[in-house]
């Protein structure tokens, strides 16, 4: 499974720190999700989608 979080975050002119603050997690955690080192919880996935103003389905894809 992959994700488009980094691409969408950059399109929205947000830093990892901006997204982390909006979601309530650390910048490192956002970086780990973007680099596929960690999978977000369902709550974090939905919170990221809300912060980025997209649907959850737009953030993730299967390889």
**Whole-Å CA distances, 15 to 1, 6, 18, 19:** 23, 9, 5, 6
Q: For the chain, give the number of residues.
A: 63
Cβ-count burial 29-47 (b if 16+ within 10 Å, e if not): bbbebbeeeeebeeebbeb
Beta carbons of 29 and 16 less than 8 angstroms apart = no
Q: Return d(Cα 60, Cα 52) in angstroms, integer.
A: 13
pLDDT of 16 > 80? The answer is yes
pLDDT of 63 > 80? The answer is no
* Domain regions of the chain by residue span: 2-58
* Mean pLDDT on 27-43: 97
In CATH, what class is 2-58? Answer: mainly alpha
Give the residue carrying structure tokens 């997204």: 19
């Amino acid at each position: 499974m992959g994700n488009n979080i980094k691409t969408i975050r950059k399109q929205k002119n947000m830093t990892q720190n901006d997204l982390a603050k909006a979601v309530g997690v650390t910048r490192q955690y956002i970086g780990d999700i973007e680099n596929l080192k960690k999978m977000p919880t369902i709550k974090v996935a939905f919170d990221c989608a809300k912060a980025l103003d997209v649907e959850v389905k737009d953030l993730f894809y299967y390889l």
